[in-house]
Structure 1
Amino acid sequence: MALAIEARDLRRTYRTRTGWLNPRRVEIDAVRGVDLDVRRGELFGLLGPNGAGKTTTIKMLNTLLIPSSGSARVCGFDVVSQTREVRRRIGYVFGGDRGLYDRLSALDNLRYFAELYGVPAARQKRRIGELLELVGLTGRERERVEGYSRGMRQRLHIARGLLHEPEVLFLDEPSIGVDPVAARELRNTVAGLAATGTTVLLTTHYMAEAEELCDRIAVIAGGEIQALGTADELKHHAEGRRVLEVQAFGVSDSQLAGIDVLPGVRESSVDIVGTAQVLTVQSDATVDVQADVLRLLDGVRLGRVTARQPTLEDAYVAIVGRSPVEVAA
């Protein structure tokens, strides 16, 4: 099968200084030998915690960073020696508010970037109309971008990245900071790209987004790919576990540390959902830790307590929580 992206032993090392009185040079390995194949027309997800190497990998693939070693090709062209050919065939959309002109309308923004990307004048009007329709901004295109919501801005970012009809589109956390309704609209937009035959490489922190959209998903941690497969295949990494969720109000670090060392507990984490904490505890399937967890939470105001089967998010936690040796095994 034809590949849109292929990377072999891709590495990136940063050299920096540390210390003030006695500064010394240190090397930081941001990416430590990534091997990756993305098929043409595939919607491929790259997941990982902050500092895992996601954005560095993306920037090497789209020619914004030069790899320290290894090789990568996009649409058959080398990202170092054939930069111009790669850039003609890719689009890049990043999360956040940068990259648009607030005092211009969406239409004027797209006209400006169409000129910048070398879209032929005879093609611009039709192409801009197609993209406004694709991202759901038809009828709002003459409004200034400064009045747009975060979700509308992100959809305009996607339209901008598609102006020159790239074969490969890099989406780097496009839904970050976007409200749930806008995030759903963004997902619909991204899903629509697959129908056009565009290859999409998506980085995200949202497991539901990755599971809904991506044909395959790679999990990166510590600068290395720790697992790769479909969402269902990745869930096998959480097999043999049970998951306990406890809605709580005021779990302390010492209580969380106590839960971590309970017999049978694999991982635990706390997320803030609204005004409450949601404590998630993964344990061996043969060990029921509910009574011990609730005992350690004595004095904490509790809400719903739920035992459930592992999800993709649980598998992700299991994958990034292991050492590279354990994952490789």
Structure 2
Amino acid sequence: MKAIEIQGLNRSYEVKGKPDHIALKDVNLTIPQGEVHSLLGPNGAGKTTLCRILSTVLLPTSGSVRVMGHDVAKEHHRVKKCLGVVFGGDRGLYNQLTARQNLNFWASMYELGRAQRRRRVTELLDRVGLAQRADEAVQGFSRGMKQRLHLARGLVSSPAVLILDEPTVGMDPVAARDFRDLVRELRADGHTVLMTTHDMPEAAELSDRVSFIDNGELALTESPDVIGNIVSSQERIDVRGMTDTLRRRAAHIPGVSSVTETEPGLTRIEAEFGEAVRDVLMLVIEAGITDITRSRPSLEEVYLHLIGRRGMTVAQ
């Protein structure tokens, strides 16, 4: 079964005195069960709107959206039973209550029995690293601790699908590492995870596939490994210790597009796959240089190539 199936999704908002604002335009996306899928895009691109529709908070203007086979518009009660949502911030937390009391409340909303509720809450508090702070009021928690509590809340019902909206915002490096381990555990257990993030290394590390969204439209959906090949037909070769003469010789090799000294002593050569890369490597190795690194475009570089450098600019 497909965990998430989106066909022809459109979402628009009425704006007084202006044309309707198009938040999502003809979005088509299928996510199989057990996949970790990251949604990447600048502010205002439509990521959160898409998550809100999946979680039945918003209705589509048109199109079809299904979660575990259930239509979000017609079967929202069934969707909610198989879905966990983590939006972050202070929303959904009761600051005057303890972490344990918060989770007990949400567990009761899913109609878990008292004994089952107690076991589940204890298990989750331990899993997200809050067992030692379980009986303290949430109002004294740091932002990262609240985010961990949000994660626990999203897992209360053992959902088949988990939506995480910027899940590691506010987490310290140790907590973020533990979160990534948790996502891997969830995938191993067969859960499907849809995650919005601005953390490119995190998305590349965790995701089976990523989707780029911009101005409400999906620009590309692929695995992190494949995306770099789609965008670039070249390979980067970083060489430490090249002389000016050697750089000039490298620049004249057919298929080499650029030779740049990126920092003192470090040269980056961009060359077409195949013979050009081979000829560059032969040139460098024959010169007695062994400090060589080969790489392809990172997920962040692909993002900038497709979306542009407007991450802090809110889409109109």
Interval of TM-score (by shorter of Structure 1 and Structure 2)? 0.7 to 0.9
**1:241 CA drift (Å):** 5.4
Which of the residues 150, 153, 158 maps onto 1:165? 158
What CA distance in whole angstroms lies between the structure 2 residues aligned with 1:14 and 1:304?
A: 54
Aligned amino acid, residue 42 of structure 2: P
Q: How does 1:292-307 map to 2 (within 5 A)?
A: 307=268
Residue 236 of structure 1 contacts residue 315 of structure 1 at CA under 8 Å; is this kept in 2? no
Compute the TM-score of the two structures, normalised by the length of structure 2. Answer: 0.77
**1:73 CA drift (Å):** 0.7
What CA distance in whole angstroms lies between the structure 1 residues aligned with 2:264 and 2:107?
A: 53
Task: Give the equivalent residue in structure 2 for 1:52.
Answer: 45
SS of the residue 1:6 aligns to:
strand
1:199 aligns with 2:192: yes
What CA distance in whole angstroms lies between the structure 2 residues aligned with 1:97 and 1:306?
A: 47
Q: How does 1:271-282 map to 2 (within 5 A)?
A: none
Residue 43 of structure 1 contacts residue 202 of structure 1 at CA under 8 Å; is this kept in 2? yes
Q: How does 1:250-265 map to 2 (within 5 A)?
A: none
Task: Give the equivalent residue in structure 2 for 1:265.
Answer: none
Residue 47 of structure 1 contacts residue 218 of structure 1 at CA under 8 Å; is this kept in 2? yes
**Gap regions ≥5 residues in structure 1:** 18-23, 246-284, 295-301, 323-329
In structure 2, do the counterparts of structure 1 residues 144 and 73 end up closer, same or farther at CA, with 3 Å as the change threshold?
Answer: same
Which of the residues 295, 300, 303 maps onto 1:313? 300
Residue 238 of structure 1 contacts residue 314 of structure 1 at CA under 8 Å; is this kept in 2? no
**1:221 CA drift (Å):** 1.2
**1:289 CA drift (Å):** 7.4
**1:143 CA drift (Å):** 2.2
**1:120 CA drift (Å):** 2.1
Task: Give the equivalent residue in structure 2 for 1:43.
Answer: 36
**1:51 CA drift (Å):** 1.3
Residue 104 of structure 1 contacts residue 144 of structure 1 at CA under 8 Å; is this kept in 2? yes
**1:306 CA drift (Å):** 6.9
**1:233-280, CA deviations, whole angstroms, 9 ceiling, x for partnerless residues?**
1112342457899xxxxxxxxxxxxxxxxxxxxxxxxxxxxxxxxxxx
**Gap regions ≥5 residues in structure 2:** 239-254, 269-294, 310-316
**1:143-163, CA deviations, whole angstroms, 9 ceiling, x for partnerless residues?**
222232322211110111111
Q: Which has the larger radius of gyration?
A: 2
Which of the residues 73, 89, 108 maps onto 1:96? 89
What CA distance in whole angstroms lies between the structure 1 residues aligned with 2:259 and 2:14?
A: 45
What CA distance in whole angstroms lies between the structure 1 residues aligned with 2:237 and 2:147?
A: 35
Task: Give the equivalent residue in structure 1 for 2:220.
Answer: 227
Residue 144 of structure 2 contacts residue 169 of structure 2 at CA under 8 Å; is this kept in 1? no
Aligned amino acid, residue 70 of structure 2: F
Task: Give the equivalent residue in structure 2 for 1:5.
Answer: 4
**1:147-184, CA deviations, whole angstroms, 9 ceiling, x for partnerless residues?**
32322211110111111221111101111233333322
In structure 2, do the counterparts of structure 1 residues 244 and 223 end up closer, same or farther at CA, with 3 Å as the change threshold?
Answer: farther
Task: Give the equivalent residue in structure 1 for 2:79.
Answer: 86
In structure 2, do the counterparts of structure 1 residues 288 and 26 end up closer, same or farther at CA, with 3 Å as the change threshold?
Answer: same
Which of the residues 24, 27, 47 maps onto 2:20? 27
Residue 145 of structure 2 contacts residue 171 of structure 2 at CA under 8 Å; is this kept in 1? no
Count of aligned pairs: 267
What CA distance in whole angstroms lies between the structure 1 residues aligned with 2:267 and 2:233?
A: 18
**1:111 CA drift (Å):** 1.0
In structure 2, do the counterparts of structure 1 residues 114 and 127 end up closer, same or farther at CA, with 3 Å as the change threshold?
Answer: same
**1:85-111, CA deviations, whole angstroms, 9 ceiling, x for partnerless residues?**
111111110132322122222111111
Aligned amino acid, residue 70 of structure 1: G
What CA distance in whole angstroms lies between the structure 1 residues aligned with 2:265 and 2:124?
A: 44
Report the RMSD for the aligned CA atoms in angstroms: 2.5
What CA distance in whole angstroms lies between the structure 1 residues aligned with 2:259 and 2:122?
A: 57
Identify which of structures 1 and 2 has the higher relative contact order when contacts are C-alpha pairs closer than 8 Å and 6+ apart.
2
**1:199 CA drift (Å):** 1.2
1:288 aligns with 2:258: yes
What CA distance in whole angstroms lies between the structure 2 residues aligned with 1:93 and 1:289?
A: 45
**1:201 CA drift (Å):** 0.7
Which of the residues 123, 138, 144 maps onto 2:116? 123
Residue 25 of structure 2 contacts residue 216 of structure 2 at CA under 8 Å; is this kept in 1? yes
What CA distance in whole angstroms lies between the structure 1 residues aligned with 2:153 and 2:83?
A: 12
What CA distance in whole angstroms lies between the structure 2 residues aligned with 1:237 and 1:175?
A: 29
